[in-house]
């Protein structure tokens, strides 16, 4: 057996070189894993759960997560967007370690959680980035995966399409990061001296981190309808009428929100073409919800609606007067 010995200083240098190489491998910088524009046609629906106990807390100490969630969920607007195809992209170069395809795109709320037991990720892929780092992409569309085990893949290369497979109720991709098998929040990385906020060096590329600025609440979808809308109908792309008839039986303004909290005050109103309020409603929320669907409307009496542009507005007010936050979104419909 041949033994090698190093003088103490050389041994120390060898260790430092090895440590430096390990550190370089341990610090991937991830690109956006979805081909979309954050805040315009995709949104972070749920963040990584940073709370070690039964409660849920995102990296900013907000409530935009749920207990045990080990990834970052990027949601798209609705099923028509999913049908058109939104590409899921490799966030960093690596080798494909595992894939699964063939699971149907079904709302688990309808099918039941038992139908995906043991396969909660749905259709997806795992990419090995070396140095102990892997990324996982879950809930992809059935038949959309374009990679196979063993493929070398580069940053930005297509993996598949956003879908509705596995344990999910809306089209999105869950992006999960692991280091040596342990889940890691890409907004935090491996080193964070404080309890709240990002780590010293997040795992996102700089431009991605800027695009993914933390949003405590997101108003991501709204529209008008001439009938009472249902959340599942909106998810299918209905109730986005750009024009309504003057003899429509009702005028209804609806909105979808991510990340509402108990105590939030939500105002919905519709303004007539002359600027007067057609209907207004304030509602104080009793519980924290990842997703909320809400609407306000008015039925037509005997006379027709006045022609012109009607404006819908949602306002969410959070917190006491000294720490108050407000969130707004407006939408319009032409009545003729």
Does residue 283 contact residue 264 with C-beta atoms inside 8 Å? no
How confident is the model at residue 4, as a pLDDT? 30
Find where tokens 């306000």 sit.
Answer: 296
- The Cα–Cα gap between 153 and 62 comes to 35
Q: Give the homologous superfamily in CATH for domain 218-335.
A: Immunoglobulins (2.60.40.10)
Rounded to the nearest angstrom, the gap between the alpha carbon of residue 95 and the centroid of all alpha carbons in its chain is: 25
Residue 25: pLDDT band with limits 50, 70, 90 = low
How confident is the model at residue 320, as a pLDDT? 86
Of residues 328 and 200, the one with the higher pLDDT is: 328
List 163's β-bridge partners, or say none: 172
Locate 77 and state its tokens.
């607007």
Find where tokens 């509402």 sit.
Answer: 260
Does residue 95 contact residue 84 with C-beta atoms inside 8 Å? no
Q: Among 124, 128, 162, which Cα is nearest to 43's?
A: 162
Per-residue pLDDT of 168-214, as tens digits, reads 999 999 999 999 999 999 999 998 888 899 998 899 999 999 999 99
Angle at 74 between CA 72 and CA 80, to 5 degrees: 155
| Three-state secondary structure call for residue 198 | coil
Q: Are strands 265-271 and 218-225 parallel, antiparallel or unpaired?
A: unpaired
Q: Give the homologous superfamily in CATH for domain 29-211.
A: Glucose Permease (Domain IIA) (2.70.70.10)
The ranges assigned to domains in the chain are: 29-211, 218-335
How confident is the model at residue 52, as a pLDDT? 87
- The Cα–Cα gap between 117 and 277 comes to 49
Q: Determine the length of the chain.
A: 336
pLDDT above 90: percentage of residues in the chain: 84
Residues with Cβ within 8 Å of 155's Cβ and at least 6 positions away in sequence, in order, are: 31, 89, 90, 91, 92, 93
Give the up-direction half-sphere exposure of residue 276: CA atoms within 13 A in the CB hemisphere: 3
How confident is the model at residue 26, as a pLDDT? 61
How confident is the model at residue 109, as a pLDDT? 86
């Amino acid at each position: 057996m041949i033994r090698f010995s190093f003088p103490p200083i050389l041994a120390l240098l060898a260790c430092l070189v090895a440590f430096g190489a390990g550190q370089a491998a341990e610090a991937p910088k991830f690109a956006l894993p979805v081909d979309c524009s954050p805040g315009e046609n995709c949104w972070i629906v749920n963040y990584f759960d940073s709370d070690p106990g039964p409660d849920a807390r995102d990296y900013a100490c907000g409530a935009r997560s749920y207990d045990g969630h080990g990834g970052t969920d990027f949601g798209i607007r609705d099923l028509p967007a999913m049908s058109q195809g939104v590409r899921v992209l490799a966030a960093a170069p690596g080798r494909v370690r595992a894939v699964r395809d063939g699971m149907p795109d079904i709302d688990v709320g309808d099918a039941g959680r038992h139908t995906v037991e043991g396969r909660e990720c749905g259709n997806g892929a795992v990419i090995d980035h070396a140095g102990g780092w892997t990324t996982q992409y879950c809930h992809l569309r059935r038949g959309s995966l374009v990679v196979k085990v063993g493929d070398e893949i580069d940053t930005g290369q297509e993996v598949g399409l956003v879908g509705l497979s596995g344990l999910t109720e809306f089209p999105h991709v869950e992006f999960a990061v692991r280091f040596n098998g342990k889940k890691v929040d890409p907004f935090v990385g491996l080193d964070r001296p404080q309890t709240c906020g990002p780590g010293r060096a997040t795992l996102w590329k700089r431009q991605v981190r800027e695009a993914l600025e933390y949003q405590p609440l997101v108003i991501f979808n709204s529209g008008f309808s001439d009938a009472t809308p249902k959340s599942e109908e909106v998810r299918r792309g209905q109730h986005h009428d750009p024009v309504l008839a003057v003899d429509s039986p009702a005028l209804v303004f609806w909105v979808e929100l991510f990340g509402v909290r108990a105590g939030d005050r939500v105002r919905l109103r519709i303004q007539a073409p002359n600027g007067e309020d057609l209907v207004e409603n304030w509602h104080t929320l009793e519980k924290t919800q990842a997703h909320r669907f809400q609407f306000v409307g008015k039925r037509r009496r005997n006379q027709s609606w006045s022609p012109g542009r009607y404006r819908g507005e949602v306002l969410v007010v959070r917190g006491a007067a000294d720490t108050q936050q407000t969130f707004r979104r407006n939408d319009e419909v032409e009545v003729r």
